[in-house]
Structure 1
Amino acid sequence: MLAVFQSTIGNLPKELSLPCVGRNNCLNCSPQEIAETFRSWRSDATFYNLSNGNFLALSHELENPVQPRSIVVIDEISCLFCGSLFNTCDLRRHYGLSRQATEAVVIVEAYKVLRDRAPYPADQVVKQLHGSFAFILFDSKDSTLFLARDGDGRMQFHWGTASDGSLVCTDDPNLISVACGNCYSPFPPGCIFINKSGLMSFDHPLHKVVGIPQVDHNGNINAVFFQVDLFTRLPSIPRTGSATNWAGAAVFEGQ
């Protein structure tokens, strides 16, 4: 799977671009070049164009049959899902869905409930997902981007920046390397990213997720890895309503 979003989507961790700072040999591509590379590598690729030049792409080539890729578009909400959930049946009942609802449909419904009605933060919703997964959700109505990866990191998921600063997300480690040069990192396991609030851990919501640069023997930054800072505790701020809970999903309460 592949997704590219313009830099105006907002709130990207600055560390994603650190390896390219001050370097003349950064080989990251433009969004158009990334799309063409994906087409050339995946003959069955299907593209889904979103607002403002953003797009999603899906291919089933080299797909693990026990960790399939899927996409749904419901009420202007698009969701790319890779992997499998062990508790899909329970989640279908919880959200009042039919037996035919796929994991991607479950994610969309969970997002809609969280956005519109839920009295609890985003980390609690994602904690209900048990399995091996990564997903990319985009709500075109208000340009909300929502990314997540399972806590054990069993599903491949990477993110980085294109030559124009666009965000690139994919489960293909070879594609992210070609697309982003050195300006990419594995998406941290057990974490979610919401562009209106930033990157957070759903396993440790009271602790900040920080980018750690990896420096070579010449002092050059050649990679960045994100991890939870368990030594720094974030302040807890009282919630004031469901709308605030979503827009401020990085308001971390221990529950």
Structure 2
Amino acid sequence: MLAIFKNGSVDPPKELNSPASVQTSSSSLKPKLPNEILNNFLYSHSNNGFSMGFAEKALIGFSPPQNPFSIHNRMFCGVDDIYCIFLGGLSNLPALLRQYGLSKGANEAVFVVEAYRTLRDRGPYPADQVLRDMEGIFGFVVYDAKAGSVFVSLSGDEGVKLYWGIGGDGCVVISDNLEVIKGSCAKSFAPFPAGCMYHSDHGLMSFEQPLKKMKAMPRIDSEGILCGSNFKVDTISSLKNNNMTRVGSRDSNCVIDNSLICFNGNDSFSFGGHVAGLGLELLNQSNYRIWKTCMESYLVGENLWDIVVDDDNITPEDVAENVEASKKRKTLNAKA
């Protein structure tokens, strides 16, 4: 598979760039332009390869697997201007399809498109939690043609590989074929980090440790030349917040800062967070029962549960002896 995002549509980590890619005098060792990269891919997959172009923003090349019964599947789908290339397989796909209301015949690529669309349009769901709920081996690239956004992720077990690099005009190239990346990006490339996700609006982060920052580790080849960087989780630092904005949203945003949630006016979904003071994960599609039990226990402990369940029993305020009781009830109701 091949995905090319032209210069300006995606802002890759600057550490992917190697000075050696532009300093070489040999044209054969320089990064290639997007159309040349795509033509080389199609030439090497002339029997079953195809491509799609999206104006001056993106190019996608795909070829079905030679062995259709391989445990490492390769799939492509497009739904409502959202396109996905999926590698691998999910062992809990039937449960995920039921959770998202998809038909039994849907494959992993269709599920990823629906999960992405849910995160984009109908949050707030933590993206890191959605990815952790995906059991199996996976790597995928999602291109949202309507929003111009790119979403990439790779499972933590490294059962499949993804590589990314910088092409000749600054384009971002992503492929599961190392030779394609080497031939297209010269020295400016690196393995896509396992257990991580990348969004074009928010950059690279770990979905396994979403509150930790990523750090670049320079790669040196056997010739002593800098070849991009590997990216690792920085276990010391912390990531305060990182949100993916909804498409077509009202100008509002939900920001989550480690254990604090606050609203400053933009609809969005968060990459991770907890409710302040409770130690609870944000309510999502899979944790309602736990959330309900913990919230009920919290309200009981704060002497507020009766206010929640007995809201119809209103104390008449026109009776003098009920004035104080009414004020107290109003105070408790506001706390609840």
TM-score (norm: length of structure 2)? 0.70
| Aligned counterparts, 1:224-239, within 5 A | 224-236=229-241, 237=257, 238-239=261-262
Show CA shifts across 1:115-136 (max 9, x none). Answer: 1112222211111111111111
Q: Give 1:19 deviation, angstroms.
A: 4.8
Moved more, 108-117 or 237-246: 237-246
2:195 paired with 1:190 = yes
Mark the CA change 1:125 to 1:218 in structure 2 (over 3 Å): closer, same or farther.
same
Task: Using the TM superposition, give the Cα deviation of residue 21 of structure 1 relative to its aligned residue in structure 2, in angstroms.
Answer: 6.5
What SS does the aligned partner of 1:109 have? helix
Partner in structure 2 of residue 15 of structure 1: 15
Q: Of the candidates 148, 168, 173, which is equivalent to residue 143 of structure 1?
A: 148
Paired letter, 1:54: A
Higher radius of gyration, 1 or 2: 2
Write the distance in 2 (CA, Å) between the matches of 1:185 and 1:218: 16
What is aligned with 2:326?
none
Of 49, 61, 77, the match for 1:57:
61
- Given candidates 35, 40, 45, the residue that maps to 1:37 is 40
Partner deviation per Cα, 1:126-183 (whole Å, 9 max, x = no partner): 1111111111101111111100001111111111111001010111111111111111
Q: Which residue of 194, 199, 203 corresponds with 2:204?
A: 199
Shift of 1:216: 5.9
Alignment match, 1:90:
95
Give the SS at the match of 2:99: helix
CA distance in 2, matches of 1:18, 1:4: 18
Q: Which residue of 2 aligns with 1:123?
A: 128
| Structure 1: distance between partners of 2:158 and 2:117 | 25
Residue ranges of structure 1 left out of the alignment (5+ in a row): none
SS at match of 1:9: coil
Contact 2:125 2:269 survives alignment (8 Å): yes
Q: Which has the higher contact order (CA 8 A, sep 6+)?
A: 1
**Identity over aligned pairs, percent:** 34
**CA distance in structure 2 between the aligned counterparts of 1:21 and 1:38, rounded to whole angstroms:** 21
Does the Cα contact within 8 Å between 1:239 and 1:245 map onto a contact in 2?
no
Give yes or no for contact 2:73–2:89 (8 Å, CA) kept in 1.
yes
Deviation per CA, 1:58-87, whole angstroms, max 9, x where unpaired?
Answer: 112555711111111101111111111111
CA, structure 1 residues 216+103, in 2 after alignment: closer, same or farther (shift >3 Å)?
Answer: closer
State the partner residue of 2:6: 6
8 A contact 1:30–1:164 mirrored in 2: yes
Contact 1:161/1:167 (CA < 8 Å) preserved in 2? Answer: yes
User: TM-score, normalised on structure 1?
Assistant: 0.91
Unpaired runs of at least 5, structure 2: 242-256, 275-280, 282-336
Question: What is the SS of the residue equivalent to 1:108?
Answer: helix
Q: Calculate the aligned-residue CA RMSD, in Å.
A: 2.1
Distance in 1 between residues matched to 2:85 and 2:99, nearest whole Å: 21
Q: Which residue of 1 aligns with 2:162?
A: 157
Q: In 2, are the aligned partners of 1:118 and 1:242 still within 8 Å (CA)?
A: no
d(CA) in 2 for partners of 1:222 and 1:116? 38
What amino acid maps onto 1:6 in structure 2? Answer: K
